[in-house]
Structure 1
């Protein structure tokens, strides 16, 4: 378990950090890691001798489901891209570097573990109740049970997995990624009309920040399924995503060609800050060093002399629609899912909240009751999950609250010291406030994620709060967001995986151990890979377009919002240049009401099926990255979730998740190999010679759409 857990943690964390610097952010598939762990675990159980003292110690029995689950949990904890590496990369690329490499490592580790510790302290709320389903665990739980239930059936499924995996690994991905990359996005319209920028903006999308990729065809699974496989996205979510996707195309084209926010003075898609002297034929990136003093704080006198920066209309469209989606989520759930919310928030009843203000509640280091008394109390609690009750009945040792408390306290103290060493400009009270907000966000958003499976992206919210609390301090904005948004994400991940451990009855102390180890391995390797990529690809990472291999779009948008919100009064406040970014929060409260009222008057199922909050979230989806594969995402998703599930349910149940894991696995392993072999991950790139299937992108984009001369120059 330790050998495979640490090995897959290493693989997953390195791969995830590589994906973070791709033109389209991609997530390492936990389903694939689960299947890979099974194959390797069965192989080790077969190969390692079983006889003798050494054999009995190394291979005492068959590879079982609990070992498998522990490996999956460790790899899942590691296979994350820490937001701290984004903050460090931004400081390295745009602020002249940071003063201490050692402090940088500990910033990454503590920002990950603080979220873990807080979620552990809140597990009575987020994990143990039966209504906290964490539905995203269902594919992994089903897969674990299936692989360890019927060996004959498992062998048949694994044979199918091997065929698809090795086809993707040896043939398809290596050809698509390296030899024949034009197949990443084939646009018939651009092939027919190669000198139109309108066609580039609408139909292009095979290169980073190129266009919207409308009606393009992609054969590269790497970009078809960047955020998760379409084969297991529920049809309801998929349909609303598709409506938002079409709305995004209309919105972005309307903003640009309507010249809203002076859109045509700037690129169609870009995440940089731009100078007001840009005029559509000459894009001038805003030189943030002209407005920062020696402490990297915004100087109002310099801003007055230089002027405030500008944003592209597409980026503003993303900010406006995602902000609306954020507030629309609350109203939508209150209108349509009130009964679910009422059950899910029973813990927030005044009688339960009253306990929080008692002294005994916070004495997590003290034993308030005997194990027997605690077990009896929990067995009689009707709100607790039956899986958890069964574990307690079998007398599993619980993780004491003080273990989680120690994790939080140590990480908080180390993190605070490192922030001052890094000259982050974030004051101690700001760091304390970030921790308190993380607790609040974890209670609300973690509970909603556990009930509904819908995860909120609160990063723009955190950057907005930091902008008003620390005006003129972009570095403080970066690190405040790191210790709120990142800690929340990691806390939700821990709670999700704690529920998975509960479903498979893995002991709590084993779960604690593997998650802490996975987090430490992942954080350290995240940092190592970030340093390697930033050192070798700095020029590309700071460019507007990036390339089809590397892109700094994540770091750029993180830094862009940090600078912009540091000038919130002039940029986003009411009366500012982009006041609609702030007003959009208010508009989001209103957005779900018309459909709800329409349903009350005319109860047609269509009104109930449309989720305004999800639609709004996806109306800004195409603001960045490689967009030529999004159409194929929806085609394959509808085939799996509608046609296959409805008309061939036996095939769906038998092969859908295995197929998804094989497609993810073959693609991601080959990307891992190619990154170090030919794409410059090790410092030296070896590009494939140009030919029709690998065109010279200085002349036209990868899909033969016209290149914007203002960007190419």
Structure 2
């Protein structure tokens, strides 16, 4: 969940957002209004659009003040619009470090997939590590052919960006590894390794191909800011500009990095109580009510309300709160508080017999469960030898149950998904319309022309493309500069070839590993990926918010492939994973655009990283599933390992395979499906009220974000949420508003240092003491380490529910 920047996506300037008296007397300027702007330093806070939620001002070396008022100001004041085309990324050093960090990032991300809390490898962190290694290699003596090959010239920003983008393309956990893990954990299946690896590779590259063909809509325009990238690009600039300007900032960075590197050993291994300190649970250790509301340091323990976390790994698990803008923080906080109310109401109101099952869980349960003994559903009783639903077995054993909180998550997520589509149409119709411009009659007529299909003849000439870009007022100034400088764009057919090849390989592997997904279902899943990449890619590019589309994809799969849970999961691999991959490709294309990395080197880095990441995702998944099998199939897991992601994936596949019995109108959980219809309606009143009253509150509220966060706490470690919001509001409200100099110079660098120090030591600890490669080495039990779930306790001393086993 990154930053929200676009005014029509909810930004509105409020009366409390005052410009300083000095600024009020200075007219805003654009960085393109004067040649002087190209010399400006990036010492400013970003964020804003046509009518920003908050103004950030900067003082350049001329003593002038500029107020950021729109996306163009962000792109031209925060980031230098200058370039040195002579810098080359095509070096052995760039490939060597890029491949090495791609392996590292893919392994680390797959480790994080099996953690009790969803955590993403920080690209800011990869930026820092790439810089340190690149500078280290630059000390190799340039003597003789070997020396010049290893170190042709000083480490430059283009090499650095190439390395970061390759590592970023690998830093994902492929959804296809989820189904491969689920098959081993729940279906006693282990597909052939070769076919499985090709499946992972094709599923990763399909979304890349689709998004690449849409890059002129989702990446190149100024409005598509992709705000999540601002800290990354700012950091790359800071590291590679005049060292005299950045020496002290880098010193601060390495000090913070080192402190976190040492500190994280304490909450992660020595003193894990610090992962979630709950005063309420310490005061009353015999109340399950307190556990459900205030507990949250163990997986699926509780909502973590008012707990305090001192472990940055969990605080910044979904992205550092230090660069999440006030708009996003406010909407997500509203959703978070409503989530607590909703979940407590569902459970203690005993809605859907919630008190017969765990408070938080992603498993299916049978009707023999009660408040003192939870009985997971025996899937083998309702599956045939071909892993399809056995109707006779289902009738005999009854329809499975889900926890009330999980149903609450499904309802709010489903509402939020359709609300997002409506929100984008109402507030960002022009962007959506541009995305479908290819369906205009004039463009459709081109499909009938033989020249259109002769891709080997190339597309537009360089001069024609250059003219169109330079004349387009909506194009990003950085992209215009690259075109003006003569950078060659990647032909569309390159991405088309990636799409076609991945599609064919994916189809072949589906039949080779007996997925039960028919060819026509495979095609439909990819059409969903195309549709959602446009809608949700535009949303992420404009606002930075990423929505989880997995539930709706699994719902569609359930209705078109009833009784086939494996087909459901494979449908989701291509429908949902394709969207994720498309968003990541667009994100990194924007990074390349802002650091002025040539499109062809960007293409090379992304495709290489994606293939490397797919291979090592699979290898690491097999290692962890083999070594942690018992923990991954348990309800709570441990504070180190958890199978909650695989459990959720498999649960939805089974549940939607019997959707007629569980979710259709008249069934027990009918509101899960009805929620989609409600979601189409909820944004409309706010839009109508704002349109006719112009009351800023209704423009500021984004219901798609609020609805998503209303189901946020359904899984994982929740003790970090208070610390997350506290740090976010401190940085984005107090520091930005009252200490702007500190915010501008150190906010993003400190955020990067916190991520970097944490993720390096977590990677080391995962193999050294947590059993990532075999045997775990637990720290001795003491007051700050009570052994956790393995000893029948919760880390924060909240009462452990004995029914969890």
Residue among 311, 318, 332 paired with 1:220: 311
| 1:382-419 deviation digits (Å, cap 9, x = unpaired) | 44333333323333233223322222222222211211
Other-structure match for 1:127:
219
Other-structure match for 2:158:
66
Distance in structure 2 (CA, Å) of the matches to 1:115 and 1:223? 29
Other-structure match for 1:397:
488
Structure 2 gaps, min length 5 = 1-93
Cα pair distance change 1:482/1:254, threshold 3 Å: same
Residue among 157, 160, 184 paired with 2:252: 160
Other-structure match for 2:238:
146
Distance in structure 2 (CA, Å) of the matches to 1:122 and 1:361? 17
Residue among 95, 98, 102 paired with 1:2: 95
Secondary structure of the corresponding residue to residue 268 of structure 1: coil
Cα pair distance change 1:699/1:653, threshold 3 Å: same
Counterpart contact for 1:328–1:613, Cα < 8 Å: yes
> Are 1:496 and 2:496 matched, yes or no?
no
Q: Please show how residues 277-316 of structure 1 align to structure 2 within 5 Å.
A: 277-316=368-407
Residue among 797, 802, 805 paired with 1:704: 797
Other-structure match for 1:646:
737
Counterpart contact for 1:12–1:79, Cα < 8 Å: yes
Distance in structure 1 (CA, Å) of the matches to 2:384 and 2:484? 62
| 1:352-406 deviation digits (Å, cap 9, x = unpaired) | 6535744454543432444344434444444433333332333323322332222
What is the number of residues matched between the two proteins?
A: 709
Other-structure match for 1:541:
632
Counterpart contact for 2:141–2:147, Cα < 8 Å: yes
Other-structure match for 1:626:
717
Cα pair distance change 1:294/1:689, threshold 3 Å: same
Distance in structure 1 (CA, Å) of the matches to 2:388 and 2:638? 31
Distance in structure 1 (CA, Å) of the matches to 2:231 and 2:638? 34
Cα pair distance change 1:372/1:236, threshold 3 Å: closer
Residue among 88, 96, 109 paired with 2:188: 96
592-601 or 574-583: bigger deviation: 592-601
Distance in structure 2 (CA, Å) of the matches to 1:239 and 1:374? 42
How far is 1:709 from its partner? 1.3
Cα pair distance change 1:682/1:657, threshold 3 Å: same
Other-structure match for 1:354:
444
Other-structure match for 2:341:
250
How far is 1:49 from its partner? 0.5
How far is 1:534 from its partner? 0.2
214-223 or 688-697: bigger deviation: 688-697
Other-structure match for 2:118:
25
Distance in structure 1 (CA, Å) of the matches to 2:425 and 2:531? 19
Secondary structure of the corresponding residue to residue 693 of structure 1: coil
How far is 1:595 from its partner? 3.9
> Are 1:178 and 2:304 matched, yes or no?
no
How far is 1:602 from its partner? 6.2
Counterpart contact for 2:357–2:365, Cα < 8 Å: yes
| 1:168-214 deviation digits (Å, cap 9, x = unpaired) | 112x1111111100110011111111010000000000011000000
Counterpart contact for 2:459–2:491, Cα < 8 Å: no
Distance in structure 1 (CA, Å) of the matches to 2:689 and 2:225? 31
Residue among 162, 167, 176 paired with 1:84: 176
Cα pair distance change 1:653/1:118, threshold 3 Å: same
| 1:31-55 deviation digits (Å, cap 9, x = unpaired) | 111122122212221x210233333
Counterpart contact for 1:266–1:274, Cα < 8 Å: yes
How far is 1:58 from its partner? 2.2
| 1:85-119 deviation digits (Å, cap 9, x = unpaired) | 11110111111023312111111111101111222
Distance in structure 2 (CA, Å) of the matches to 1:79 and 1:599? 40
Counterpart contact for 2:435–2:534, Cα < 8 Å: no
How far is 1:599 from its partner? 4.7
Cα pair distance change 1:353/1:621, threshold 3 Å: farther
220-229 or 62-71: bigger deviation: 62-71
Distance in structure 1 (CA, Å) of the matches to 2:658 and 2:299? 28
Residue among 527, 535, 549 paired with 2:618: 527
Structure 1 gaps, min length 5 = none
| 1:549-579 deviation digits (Å, cap 9, x = unpaired) | 0000000000000000000111111111100
How far is 1:519 from its partner? 0.8
| TM-score under structure 1 length normalisation | 0.96
**Which structure has more helix as a fraction of its residues?**
1
Residue among 540, 552, 560 paired with 2:651: 560
Secondary structure of the corresponding residue to residue 539 of structure 2: helix
Q: Please show how residues 304-703 of structure 1 align to structure 2 within 5 Å.
A: 304-335=395-426, 337-338=427-428, 341=431, 345=435, 347=437, 350=440, 354=444, 357-359=447-449, 360-596=451-687, 599=690, 604-697=695-788, 698-703=791-796
Secondary structure of the corresponding residue to residue 722 of structure 2: helix
448-457 or 158-167: bigger deviation: 448-457
How far is 1:243 from its partner? 0.8
Counterpart contact for 2:365–2:401, Cα < 8 Å: yes
Distance in structure 2 (CA, Å) of the matches to 1:348 and 1:134? 23
| TM-score under structure 2 length normalisation | 0.85
Cα pair distance change 1:672/1:456, threshold 3 Å: same
How far is 1:600 from its partner? 6.1
| 1:651-709 deviation digits (Å, cap 9, x = unpaired) | 11111111111111111111111111111111101111111010033342110011111
Cα pair distance change 1:433/1:363, threshold 3 Å: farther
Counterpart contact for 2:363–2:402, Cα < 8 Å: yes
Distance in structure 2 (CA, Å) of the matches to 1:356 and 1:563? 44
Looking at both structures, which has the greater relative contact order when contacts are Cα pairs under 8 Å and sequence separation is at least 6?
1
Distance in structure 2 (CA, Å) of the matches to 1:481 and 1:522? 19
Other-structure match for 1:37:
130
Other-structure match for 1:57:
149
Distance in structure 2 (CA, Å) of the matches to 1:459 and 1:671? 28
